Structure 1
Amino acid sequence: MHPETHLQLQHVRAADLRAEADSYRLATEAGNPGRLRTRVGWTLVEVGLRLASAPRPAVAAC
């Protein structure tokens, strides 16, 4: 990949991350921290369920 193209993609990604961070900041300043809290909570639930579930049995390939 050409270095200039790679650099441009990094700039676009950084701008996206800044915009997302601003939206979280505005939500918490507006007194609505529930969006981030809910998202983190469900992520933790998903991780817990994956850890608690029984591993699938290995299938032998013949």
Structure 2
Amino acid sequence: MHSENHLALHDGRAADLRAEADADRLAATVRNPHPVALRTRLGWTLVEVGLRLAAPPKGATPAAA
């Protein structure tokens, strides 16, 4: 194979791979824009639920000893 033909095939394949990588990168961004933000929000929600479960009910009087 002549070097010019080999270079042309290589350039074409490289361009295809770059386009595929860009498309995959874009799709990954659309699928999961901020995984850390979702994890943080879920974590704080669980903390809030835990605090509500641990707190005494509103209006409850402490038990006499």
Q: TM-score, normalised by structure 1?
A: 0.48
Q: Which has the higher contact order (CA 8 A, sep 6+)?
A: 1
